[in-house]
Amino acid sequence: MTSPVAFPSPVLDHVVINVADKLDEASNLYQRLGFQLSARGHHTLGSSNHLAIFGENYLELLGYEPGQGDKRKDLWQAPAGLTGLVWKTHSADSEFRHLKQHDLDGDPPASFSRPVTLPDGQQTDARFRTVRLRPSLVPNGRSFFCQHDTPAAVWQTAWQQHPNGVRHITEFVIVAQQPASAAAVYRRLFGDAFIEHERDGSLAIHAGNATVRIMSAQQAQAIYGTLPRDYDGSARMSALSLQTDSLSKVKTNLSQGNIPFQQQANAIIVAADDAFNLTLRFHL
């Protein structure tokens, strides 16, 4: 008899923005938004990426180069924009056993890597092992656990300095007509203790320095202003909040980058149409 695996504790590792064949366009845009991006990386699975590394988590622009669109086709079928909610783990194999016990499993864990040049010029590989929740359980995207076998090939102090002053992703928003139904998969994944019901009907999962919030379209629009242009009412990853050490830095970078924004009392909002189909909220 297999022993039960303890519920994992949710900690946001990174978020994935699906840019498909528009890596050049997306990387240019996110640099204009004020992020320092890593040099383009190339996974052994065939995809390519740029990263914006923060303190505990990071943002990934994921796509493919010409001639590589037949690799990882399932990723490019998702909508453009925010499509990946990724949790930290020290053991993808242990998480897979947990997923199987709770009928959340999809494919077994997979290992892959990408070459990296460190700030001192040293050549190395960033190596990962990931395991995904069953695709049918996560509409319009993916949720998976990521085991970093070489964290120093991702988190380097030199890569964590951003012109816009961003230090962390603090909020990841999922829009759903029925937030409680959309949260059910994460309740099965983490247990009741990590799911909080807010007075406004939204649900919150505290995940390290970040909070995953599942809310109605009306609530998301009240806070973030816009939804993805192709939002169709099904559960959708739609927005990020990011903590900066200076809203002035954010405003300067957006102005220099010729990117429209909305100034609020304690935040700056960049609409989905101006951030590759997801809304960005910068705050102190």
Q: How confident is the model at residue 3 (pLDDT cuts 50, 70, 90)?
A: low
Mean pLDDT to the nearest integer, 153-157: 98
Q: What is the pLDDT of residues 34-49, one digit of tens each?
A: 999 999 999 999 999 9
Q: DSSP E strands: which ranges in 158-257?
A: 166-175, 195-197, 203-207, 210-215, 236-244
* Class of the CATH-defined domain 12-160: alpha beta
Mean pLDDT to the nearest integer, 219-248: 97
Which of 107, 85, 81, 72 has the alpha carbon at shortest distance from 10? 85
CATH of range 166-283; options 3.10.180.10, 3.40.50.150, 1.10.287.610, 2.40.170.20: 3.10.180.10
Handedness of CA 163, 214, 130, 83 (dihedral sign): negative
Mean pLDDT to the nearest integer, 197-206: 94
Q: Which helix (H) or strand (E) holds 53?
A: strand 48-53
Q: What is the pLDDT of residues 71-81, one digit of tens each?
A: 898 899 999 99
**Delimiting residues of CATH 3.10.180.10 domain(s) in the chain:** 12-160, 166-283
pLDDT at 2: 60
Instruction: Tell me the pLDDT of the chain averaged across its residues.
Output: 96
pLDDT at 105 over 50: yes
- CA dist 268 and 283 (Å) reads 7
Q: Go through 158-191 and write b for each residue having 16 or more CB atoms within 10 A of its CB, e for each that does not.
A: ebeebbbbbebbbbbbbbbeebeebbebbebbbe
Residue of higher predicted confidence among 54 and 67:
54
Mean pLDDT to the nearest integer, 258-262: 98
Contact 145, 90 (CB under 8 A): no
Mean pLDDT to the nearest integer, 228-257: 97
Terminal-to-terminal C-alpha distance of the chain: 50
Task: Tokens 């999922």: give the residue.
Answer: 174
Mean pLDDT to the nearest integer, 243-269: 97
Q: How confident is the model at residue 280 (pLDDT cuts 50, 70, 90)?
A: very high
Strand order in the sheet with 166-175: 195-197, 203-207, 210-215, 166-175, 236-244, 279-283, 267-270, 262-263
pLDDT at 193: 92
pLDDT at 1: 46
